[in-house]
Chain A
Amino acid sequence: MREAVHVERPWFSASLWEWIFTTDHKKIGIMYGVTSTLFFVIAGLMALGMRLELFSPGGQYMKPETYNYFLTVHGTVILLWWAIGIWSSFANFLIPLMIGARDVAFPRLNALGYWMFFAASVIALLTFIPGNHIMTMWTGYPPLAAKEGVGFAGTTALFVFIWHLTGFASIAGAVNFITTVIRMRAPGIGFWNLNLFIHGVIAANVIQLLGVPSVAGAVTMLFLDTYLKTSFFDPTKGGDPLLYQNLFWFYSHPAVYVMVLPAFGIISEIVSTFARKPIFGYKSMVVAIWAIAVVGFTVWTHHMFVSGIPDWVKILMSYTTLLIAVPTGIKIFNWVATLYRAAIVYRTPMLYALGAILMFLIGGLTGIPLGIPAFDIAVHDSYFVVGHFHYVLGMAVTLSAFGGFFYWWPKVTGRMYSEGLGKLSFWIVLVGSNLLYFPQLVIGLLGMPRRYYDYPAIPEWVTLHQIQTYGAFILALGLLIAMVALIKGAFSGERVGPNPWESNSLEWRIPSPPPPQNFDTPPKVEENFCPHGYRKL
């Protein structure tokens, strides 16, 4: 039993040896966080490179294959490392604390999951070696992705291994978190008084468990087609390229809820804490989360509206797609209602959470027309889609993740972040993001196709691309300030007690940073315990 070896010292004074062999959920959570954030920065820098290239028409300083490589890594890394991976960090650190457990159910499986994720990270870095570039785009559609080489897919195998390894980590995490929450809750905590963050994360992990096998199968067949010349997707030998798209999106649409449900959870935690008031409509929030997770599996062909599938399938999944807007709307209205007759304290996490809500709304409202085939036919694979998913991922998910960083920073490090820099970073990020993403919606309506290295000098297009590039650099500055605010806090911030926000949730009832065993004795919660019931101390 390794976990019993190092007692009494907080996580940050561990030796390298302890980091490598640890099975402590807090250390593993931090390792996920560092890895994900590092890759977020790498993917962000690549995006800045692409924005410079697109600043004006014509090839500027990149070759098209370099651009395509950058875009493939940007997409893959932002989705798998950031929008999915970062929640493994939050889930690992917080789930046991929120349910009053000493660790997760399978600590060793948990460590194995992280090291698979680490292996995927190494593979991702290997693609930087010239000759190893991947140019499949994050979706890896065959026949293109099965055509190795410079003008086409690059090194398909690395693309496939990235999916396999991150997929393994996802499944290991899912088995672990689901079991932990089912089996290890402190007495008195049940389905109807779990933290909304836990509901979000567990719904996301159920999706992972059911969905990842589908995409893993798809990329495995892609691998066989590429290297062993099988013909699952090769039409010249009787295969069908659309089979890949079906298998891919059967997972990858629900995967967008893997990205956003934990973000919703964080928004709920933060909003109720800083409104100093219980979350409005807890029960409908829970129902909405689980409804989204279930219905999310019935909409995937909205990514294939122009691919040649039968028209009746498009209509069917148009209805199911739009139906998801209903539970999503419930969540938004409930957050707004939580602000009614609240006592709102404006600290950095609250700014990020409120920003995430109002920006997510734009993401959702631009998703609706994409779910209507008659509308989509004009904007499919255009920058309008790019704008849509950047509002949800670049804003709702990213703002929530940073809101979560600020919110739990005192718990994780025992010290307060720098408030002035934190608030400043929010406003710069908000302005930069909107300058970057709103023009994407407009230029998409004007016809600009996505995944273009170059474009004709249509005057409106040029202007809209230039605004985006300015926005991208403003956004980068804002994120940099946010990271400075956090890191500065970790080293020289004011020391904080167990519960600086006066929250009622369990993680705030133990010292900051949490001791190695979390809770000395299994915590007892009061009758009618509600993690979002603000209580005056």
Chain B
Amino acid sequence: MEVLARPYDLWEGIYKIWLVITVIIYAAVAIPSLIFMVKYRYKPGEREVGDHEHEGHWGLEALWTIIPLIIVLYLATHGFAIFTQMRKPPENALELRVTAFSWGWIFQYPNGKTVVASAIRDTEDKKCKPEECYGVDGVFQHYVYIPAGVPVKVLLTSQDVIHSFYVRAAGVTQDAVPGRTTYTWFQINEPGEYWVFCREYCGQWHSRMFAKLKVVPKEEFERWLRGETADGGHESEARKVANITEVREVVR
């Protein structure tokens, strides 16, 4: 069966392993604790002082050093293997350049097409109804079209402070740092709308720094990219909104 998003499938694998180990360890500590807590209560005349023979036991102490050691070495090594896979974008990935700014994102496609996703333009208070604050209004906040089933490699940087690019469905987070280019990749297989949030605190409107991905079938995406559908490019607006004169210069 095809997964909804990558590399979320890899993440789910390690999440499940962790969850099982965690529940087992918690039970292994909590159950004996609760038994001892009930069984070894102070009882006048009968049990007034604890047993002074048990001040330590090298065998036991070695046991609960070595077993946890094996568990964490396994987890770290398994994590290492998964992480290596996660960080390797597939060869055929679509390359998307994303420039973060306070408070929004500029998405540039390989053919130069630019989309701006910005809910907030300046430090003014934005009045919006709760259901509208995170809507796509088509003025400053546009859908970011992504082809379904195609891996997307994202090259990230920032124009001002540090932001962080998080694709919720794919489970990837990567900081956008001024003066650096960082990367991540993701792939979403089912058409629909998906959240992108900023995850590094970036000032006043950090919480409204989002984008909406519109994942569409590949053919539809290509028509959109050529400008044949209604929701077209917004390069001039991009410059206006983000106060940018040289988008390409910044992304490099």
Chain A interface residues (CB < 8 Å from chain B): 56-59, 63-65, 68, 135, 137, 141, 143-144, 147, 150-153, 235-236, 240-242, 275-284, 306-308, 311, 314-315, 318-319, 322-323, 325-326, 329-330, 332-334, 336-337, 339-346, 354, 357-358, 361-362, 365-366, 368-369, 371-375, 377-382, 445, 447, 449-457, 533-534, 536
Contact = CB atoms under 8 A, between A and B. Distances in A.
A236 B162 contact: no
Nearest to B34: A358
A56 B130 contact: yes
B223 interface: no
Contact of A341 (B54, B69, B128): B54
Interface stretch (B72-80, B105-113, B224-232): B72-80
Interface stretch (B140-148, B191-199, B237-245): B191-199
Interface in B116-151: 122-123, 125, 128-131, 133-134
A368 B18 CA distance: 9
Interface stretch (B93-101, B200-208, B214-222): B200-208
A135 B204 CA distance: 8
Given A344-B40, A449-B199, A150 B79 contact: no
24 contacts: A57-B130, A58-B129, A141-B201, A143-B178, A144-B161, A242-B177, A281-B57, A307-B162, A319-B76, A322-B73, A323-B69, A329-B68, A332-B29, A333-B60, A339-B36, A342-B51, A368-B72, A377-B83, A378-B11, A447-B168, A453-B207, A455-B207, A457-B130, A534-B50
Top 3 nearest A-B pairs by Cβ distance?
Answer: A277-B50, A235-B179, A58-B130
B185 to A, nearest CB: 11
A276 B40 CA distance: 11
Contacts of B64: 329-330, 333
Nearest to A63: B125
A235 B83 contact: no
Given A241-B162, A340-B36, A345-B42, A325 B203 contact: no
Given A241-B179, A374-B82, A375-B15, 4 more contacts: A306-B174, A361-B30, A375-B14, A378-B8
Given A143-B161, A333-B29, A373-B79, A378 B72 contact: no
Contacts of A456: 133-134, 195, 210
Contacts of A311: 83-84, 87
A334 B61 contact: yes
B248 interface: no
Interface in B15-47: 15, 18, 22, 25-26, 29-30, 32-33, 36-37, 40-43, 47
Contact of A143 (B55, B128, B160, B199): B160
Contacts of B247: none
A377 B168 CA distance: 11
A369 B18 contact: yes
Interface string B1-20: 00000001011001100100
Given A372-B76, A382-B199, A447-B168, A343 B123 contact: no
Interface residues on B, range: 35 or more
B123 A150 contact: yes
B179 A343 contact: no
A336 B8 CA distance: 37
A524 to B, nearest CB: 23
Given A144-B162, A377-B171, A326 B68 contact: yes
Contacts of B182: 308
B65 interface: yes
Contacts of B14: 369, 372, 374-375
A455 B80 CA distance: 33
Contacts of B47: 343
Nearest to A452: B207
Most central of B8, B37, B201 by chain A CB within 10 Å: B201
Contacts of B80: 315, 318, 374
A379 B168 CA distance: 10
Interface of B: 8, 10-11, 14-15, 18, 22, 25-26, 29-30, 32-33, 36-37, 40-43, 47-52, 54-57, 60-61, 64-65, 68-69, 72-73, 75-76, 79-80, 82-84, 86-87, 102, 122-123, 125, 128-131, 133-134, 160-162, 164, 166, 168, 171-175, 177-180, 182, 195, 197-208, 210
Contacts of B122: 151
Contact of A323 (B50, B57, B72): B72
B63 to A, nearest CB: 9
A326 B65 contact: yes
A143 B208 CA distance: 20
A456 B131 CA distance: 7
Most central of A65, A340, A357, A378 by chain B CB within 10 Å: A378
Nearest to A362: B26
A371 B177 CA distance: 22
Contacts of B123: 150-151
B177 A283 contact: no
Contacts of A357: 33
Contacts of B180: 235, 242, 308
A392 B175 CA distance: 26
Contacts of A281: 55-57, 61
Given A322-B75, A369-B18, A375-B15, A277 B179 contact: no
Contacts of A283: 56
B204 A65 contact: yes
Contacts of B179: 235-236, 240-241
Given A58-B129, A344-B40, A454-B207, A277 B49 contact: yes
Nearest to A275: B50
Contacts of A366: 22
B130 A144 contact: no
A374 B83 contact: yes
Most central of B42, B50, B87, B128 by chain A CB within 10 Å: B50
A365 B14 CA distance: 14
A339 B40 contact: yes
A64 B52 CA distance: 58
Nearest to A146: B161
Contact of B56 (A282, A325, A365): A282
A336 B79 contact: no
Contact of B195 (A276, A334, A375, A447): A447
B173 A358 contact: no
A447 B170 CA distance: 10
Given A64-B207, A308-B180, A322-B76, A280 B87 contact: no
Contacts of B174: 306, 308, 377
Contacts of B175: 306-308
A457 B30 CA distance: 37
B153 to A, nearest CB: 15
B204 A64 contact: yes
B40 A342 contact: yes
Nearest to A350: B37
Given A319-B76, A368-B72, A68 B204 contact: yes
Contacts of A453: 206-207
B199 A381 contact: yes
A196 to B, nearest CB: 13
